[in-house]
Structure 1
Amino acid sequence: MTHVDRYADLHAAHRWQVPERFNLFQACCARWAGEAGRVALYAEDADGRKAVHTYAGLFDAAVRLSAGLAALGVAAGERVAIVLPQRFETAVAYMAIARLGAVSTPLSVLFGPEALEYRLQDSGAVAAIVDGAALPALRELRARCPDLCHLIVVDESPAGTGETAWQALLAGSGAPPPADTRADDGAVLIYTSGTTGPPKGALIPQRAMFGNLTGFVASQNGFPRPGDVFWSPADWAWTGGLWDALLPTLYFGHPIVAWRGRFSPDTAFRLMAGYRVTNTFLFPTALKAMMKAWPRPREHFDLCLRAIMSAGEAVGDTVFEWCRDALGVTVNEMFGQTEINYIVGNSCEDWPARPGSMGRAYPGHRVAVIDDAGHPLPPGTPGEVAVNRCDRHGDPDPVFFLGYWNNPEATARKYSGGWCRTGDLAVQDEDGYLWYKGRADDVFKAAGYRIGPSEVENCLVGHPAVANAAVVPKPDPERGAVVKAFVVLAAGFAPGAELVAELQAHVRGRLAPYEYPKEIEFIDALPMTTTGKVQRRVLRRMEEERAGRR
């Protein structure tokens, strides 16, 4: 672990250089396309199929897809859903949509029909690009999404009106000139779960690329260096996979590995050894599984890792030490969220990590712990982590989202004056290190996924057996937490293992697999406030006390 501390110098020297006009297609694709042989993606799937794609090939496919989308009538500012796993076509879709000046709306292939339907309706997506994994769900719900005029089908045959084969769409010509977007124009609409109500769409601007880069470079120990190759199992439909892996790697013109298949420790090590991966983003849950499966991995795999970033939950001392000793890499923990990503963390080559700390604000970001009124608090005083709209020099920080889609009230609540609230509580020490103290609301992380209890509770209440429900995290040594539901049964229903399985299947089939409650406890009544709100914190505290006794 380094003993060098260049933090103060890096912060003082950093100045944002954000051009007025900026576009992700130009920055992440077009500028590298003239270099013959420069590799953009190594693609592999679970059936053993492999392919190598260059930046020239990415550019060509993106131009042709943008021509096809334009021919369908997709215009600048309109939303196009991307419902694809890690694969070449996913990267092409992001680049083509950016080239048109349209807005990518990434949706996970893990989403069930209800989760997909809400996001497609709310975003008003006019087209969706989808492969076989989610195609049946899209076909079933399409009639309830009046704006969704086109399905672009990858690897499958179109069926019916409004469906177009990917290859047929790319066969056309006459692409419009690339959009001359402003840095402040919307680029990506990503949905994030909250405590109450349905998920909110965070509109991320083109300029957010710059806001992410200081943290990305720092947490990846000076990425890029000659020969750097990136891989992460993080889904490219999420902020972690898109803005922490795919887009910054393409921005720097380096290769990223696209693995279309399930995560396993064996696969992770095989991919990293086979593709000579130097840099990665791995959730703590993934690192724990890898540690248990391969305590001494370098005895079995020829690895060349030089940087690991981890986020989503605390890494913990045991995993931290295993990475350092067994992998030879000091983990750089990172903290951010969809709306303001990559804002706090570590960079072991530039400043020392303090075990248990979230790290410090990355260069260019002014971070403080604030009180309810929005005033910064002194060191040692707990409060809410917040980021100021301007850096220490008074220049606007480009990392900020533009607002929640069609929800100005929620956007306004996110801010206190110039401070954008994260909803996470922490204490800051004299040296600027942040120490996590929990959430200000009831959102929690389970196995690295952000869980908004409201969506799961609403789904449960949609089952005839459920009169009311509350969802909280149950502490778990492997995943950090698992989803637990407390359920009040409707009249005429009795608790039992069969009903538990039925309710779990009900949620799994409508939302996403990681959202279904791993445990359900039937309860006569939920703890409520005098105004009728469920007191999730009472149930959460009860689970923490039970875990302590165990």
Structure 2
Amino acid sequence: MSNEAHTAHPNAGHDEFRRARDFLVAHREDYDTARAEFRWPELTEFNWALDWFDRVAADPANAERYALWIVEEDGTEGRWTYPELSRRSNQVANWLRAQGVRRGDRMILMLGNQVELWETILAAIKLGAVLIPATTLLGPADLRDRVDRGEARHVVARSADAEKFTDVPGDYTRIAVGERPGGWLSYGDAYSADDAFTPDGPTQAADPLLLYFTSGTTAKPKLVQHTHVSYPAGHLSTMYWIGLEPGDVHLNVASPGWAKHAWSNVFAPWNAEATVFLYNYSRFDADALLAQLERCGVTSFCAPPTVWRMLIQADLSTLPTPPTKVVGAGEPLNPEVIEQVRDAWGVTIRDGFGQTETTVQIANTPGQEVKPGSMGRAVPGFDVVLVDPASGEPATEGELCLDLSRRPTGLMVGYAGDEDRTATAFANGYYHTGDVGSIDEDGYITYVGRTDDVFKASDYRISPFELESVLLEHEAVAEAAVVPAPDPIRLAVPKAYVVLASGHAADEATAERIFTFTREHLAPYKRVRRLEFAELPKTISGKIRRVELRGRENDATDRPAGEFRDDDFPGLKG
């Protein structure tokens, strides 16, 4: 069977996908038209690596275009064109098939930002294998869970991490990238395989492609299942949010193993025929990162708020040709960061909202007005409804939901092996995100918080995120998490757990300055009433485990040592 014969209509999937892709690229700054006229591609058989990536690679216009560019901290680098990655992934696919990898087999992929990661992703898609992305930070207990609940039959990992699998039972193929440990196959042997690949048959659009273990801020990780369409085609929305177009050089600061890496280091840029750019470093250095942005001509840059906050500590104005497309993800940014970047680079950081379960749902898209504090509007292809948790009816403030009567392509199938959680997530004709927001008359949505994080104090609804955003504007605060602390009069009061920036002491004077600052910037009912300097408990992906902090407050019988309260300071201003 030839490569072209893997579907009854060899060009149907590609043509449908390109039509949708080209429409969004053409209207990347025309939100109203894109919103009104965009239609998801109708795909029944689709293999993104074969029907899209390989077709892009075969286009003479992309013969010299880099698909991937990786720069190391020591200055060494590697660059691979679209045709090169197409051929190399064919070799890996053929070799994996020879090692027993079959359509539907589940494969744990545990690599860093190295070319083998992208080769294996493309190869697995071509084979129809199901990928279970895993961060290299995982330990044996996490890996046992992934092998067991993920029903993994194959593992591709760095040789440096092979030892972690010593006590992980299971009958799975072990493939090591790097020096081959005993009992493992060597990934390097793949490069001796044939570089022409023939699929064993068509790939159904609904076939499973990805299983993501969510980070589990409140419970054991869920298994989010995506198909050969929901992420590859679904990330057309992410491409639109960023504003990517052919020829862009896109840098996204995200670690492999998490959904955001697939969002912006695989599908969105390659949907746009752009270059995926990576800068690997062991310790963040703002000046070094800025130097690489300039040297390599990065045109598009995405980073989480933590990186943006560190980046503005450097002199951004030293960058002669800054990226023209800059976005932030993970959590909304505080105004100070946005203003400093705008002053230095002349561009506005644009927020976007999505989940592991979805692609981008809400965003500030290119060319549109950005309202301070807002995540933007529903992107083309997504119908976002705010639902009042009490009545179940649409409201101006409520849970962010997706209308399933117009189900977006970029939405998961459900939680693998967990019918109850899936049913809850898809109840009453909506997909429930578990996040709360508010919407204005122009359709702009502002994030309020997780449904289980928002709380009441003196009968007022408090958004931890809003208070945390104010705290982060204080020079002494590096990180902050706000949770309810039981109070005999107000039922609960906002308490802030604060990680201090370097050079600031965890003492009464610092606490008083922070209390004063919050009084000057928050309405009286929102004031932070208690404060404790402490490290924040986090998931392996870096998300703050507020559930642990809430439990700490609920379990406390006495005032914790080291806790400061606003009424300790009768002279507070504001």
Measured against the shorter chain, the TM-score band is: 0.7 to 0.9
What does 1:488-499 correspond to in 2, within 5 Å? Answer: none
The amino acid across from 1:406 in the alignment is G
Give the conservation status (yes or no) of the 8 Å contact 1:320–1:331: yes
RMSD: 3.7
Aligned-residue offset at 1:268: 2.2
| In structure 1, distance between residues paired with 2:496 and 2:118 | 34
Matched, 1:156 2:171: no
> Are 2:266 and 1:246 aligned?
yes
Offset at 1:377? 2.4
Equivalent residue number for residue 302 of structure 1: 320
Matched with 1:61 is 88
Q: Structure 1, residues 418-465: CA drift from partner, whole Å, max 9, x if none? A: 211111111111111112111112599999xxxxxxxxxxxxxxxxxx
Higher Cα radius of gyration: 2
1:272 aligns with 2:293: yes
Q: Which of 19, 36, 47 is 1:23 aligned to? A: 47
Conserved 8 A contact 2:218-2:545: no
Amino acid at match of 1:230: H
1:291 is aligned to 312
Is 1:352 aligned to 2:372, yes or no? no
Partner of 1:315: 333
Structure-2 separation of matches of 1:167 and 1:74: 17
Question: What corresponds to 1:420 in structure 2?
Answer: 431
2:22 paired residue number: none
Q: Which has the higher contact order (CA 8 A, sep 6+)?
A: 1
Give the direction of change, closer, same or farther, for the CA distance of 1:179–1:43 in structure 2 (3 Å limit): farther
Report if the CA contact (8 A) 1:108-1:235 is conserved.
yes
Q: SS in structure 2 opposite 1:141?
A: coil
Q: Give ranges in structure 2 of 5+ residues lacking alignment.
A: 1-27, 455-463, 470-494, 503-534
Q: Given the alignment, which residue of 416, 429, 443 partners 1:432?
A: 443
Change (3 A) 1:287 1:197: closer
Q: Judging changes above 3 Å, is the alpha-carbon distance between structure 1 residues 180 and 107 closer, same or farther for their aligned structure 2 residues? A: same
CA distance in 2, matches of 1:420, 1:522: 27
Match in the other structure for 1:371: 388
**How is 1:66-215 mapped onto 2 (pairs within 5 angstroms)?**
66-138=93-165, 140-143=166-169, 146-147=170-171, 149-160=172-183, 163-173=184-194, 175-177=197-199, 179-208=201-230, 209-215=232-238
2: distance between equivalents of 1:130 and 1:399? 28
Which of 240, 245, 256 is 1:224 aligned to? 245
Change (3 A) 1:434 1:107: same
- Counterpart position of 1:454: none
2:100 and 2:134 map into 1 onto residues whose CA distance is: 21
Query: Following TM superposition, by how much is the alpha carbon of 1:16 offset from its aligned partner in structure 2, in angstroms?
Result: 1.8
Secondary structure of the residue aligned to 1:231 is: strand
Label 1:178 to 1:273 Cα distance change in 2 as closer, same or farther (>3 A).
farther
1:323 CA drift (Å): 1.6
Q: Which residue identity is paired with 2:306?
A: T
C-alpha deviations, 1:376-421, integer Å up to 9, x for none?
4233xx2111112243xxxx41011011121111111112222111
Residue range with higher mean Cα deviation, 114-123 or 304-313: 114-123
Mapping of residues 17-56 of structure 1, within 5 Å? 17-34=41-58, 35=60, 36-56=63-83
SS at match of 1:29: helix
AA matched with 1:400: L
> How many angstroms apart in 2 are the aligned matches of 1:384 and 1:150?
43
1:478–1:105 CA distance, 2 compared to 1 (3 A) = farther
Match of 1:468 in 2: none
Amino acid at match of 2:56: W
- Which residue does the alignment assign to 2:410? 399
Q: Percent of pairs identical after alignment? A: 26
Equivalent position SS for 1:293: coil
Corresponding residue SS for 1:190: strand
DSSP 3-state at the match of 2:294: helix
CA–CA distance in structure 1, aligned partners of residues 550 and 449 of structure 2: 26
Deviates more, 1:366-375 or 1:97-106: 366-375
Q: Equivalent residue for 1:465?
A: none
User: Displacement of 1:94 after TM fit?
Assistant: 0.5
Q: Quickly say closer, same or farther: Cα 1:427–1:158, change in 2 above 3 A.
A: same
Deviation at 1:214, TM superposition (A): 2.6
Q: State the distance in 1 between where 2:565 and 2:335 align.
A: 20
> In 2, are the aligned partners of 1:23 and 1:99 still within 8 Å (CA)?
yes
Following superposition, the deviation at residue 91 of structure 1 comes to 0.6
1:11 maps to what in 2? Answer: 35
Q: 8 Å contact 1:32–1:253 — kept in the other structure?
A: yes
| SS across alignment from 1:424 | strand
Deviations 1:473-526 (A, max 9, x none): 8355879xxxxxxxxxxxxxxxxxxxxxxxx9xx99xx73847999x9999x86
Please give the alpha-carbon distance, in whole angstroms, between the structure 2 residues aligned to 1:517 and 1:16: 36
Change (3 A) 1:170 1:179: farther
Question: Which string of whole-angstrom CA distances, capped at 9 and with x for unpartnered residues, describes residues 12-35 of structure 1?
Answer: 122222321111212452112223
Structure 1 position 352, deviation (Å): 0.7
In 2: Cα distance, 1:545 partner to 1:118 partner? 44
Deviation digits for residues 184-221 of structure 1, max 9, x if unmatched?
Answer: 2211111113454310110111212322213422x223
Q: 2:239·2:272 contact (CA, 8 Å) conserved in 1?
A: no
> TM-score normalized by structure 2?
0.73
Task: Name the aligned partner's letter for residue 163 of structure 2.
Answer: P
Question: Partner of 2:234: helix, strand, or coil?
Answer: helix
After superposing the two structures, state which structure 1 stretch, 172-181 or 32-41, moved more: 172-181
Q: CA deviation at 1:132?
A: 3.8
Greater mean alpha carbon deviation, residues 268-277 or residues 31-40: 31-40
Provide the secondary structure at the position in 1 that maps to 2:374: coil
Conserved? CA contact 2:217–2:543, under 8 Å: no
Amino acid in the other structure paired with 1:282 = A
1:204 and 1:312 map into 2 onto residues whose CA distance is: 20
Give the AA of the match of 1:398.
T
Counterpart position of 1:387: 402
Q: Does 1:527 align with 2:549?
A: no
Q: Give the alignment's TM-score, normalised by structure 1.
A: 0.77
Counterparts in 2 of 1:431 and 1:178: CA distance versus 1, 3 Å: farther
**SS where residue 320 of structure 1 aligns?**
helix
CA spacing shift, 1:514–1:428, aligned 2, 3 Å: closer
Distance (whole Å) between structure 2 residues aligned to residue 352 and residue 7 of structure 1: 11
> Which shifted more, 62-71 or 14-23?
14-23
Aligned residue in 1 for 2:507? none
* Cα 1:113/1:415, change in 2 over 3 Å: same
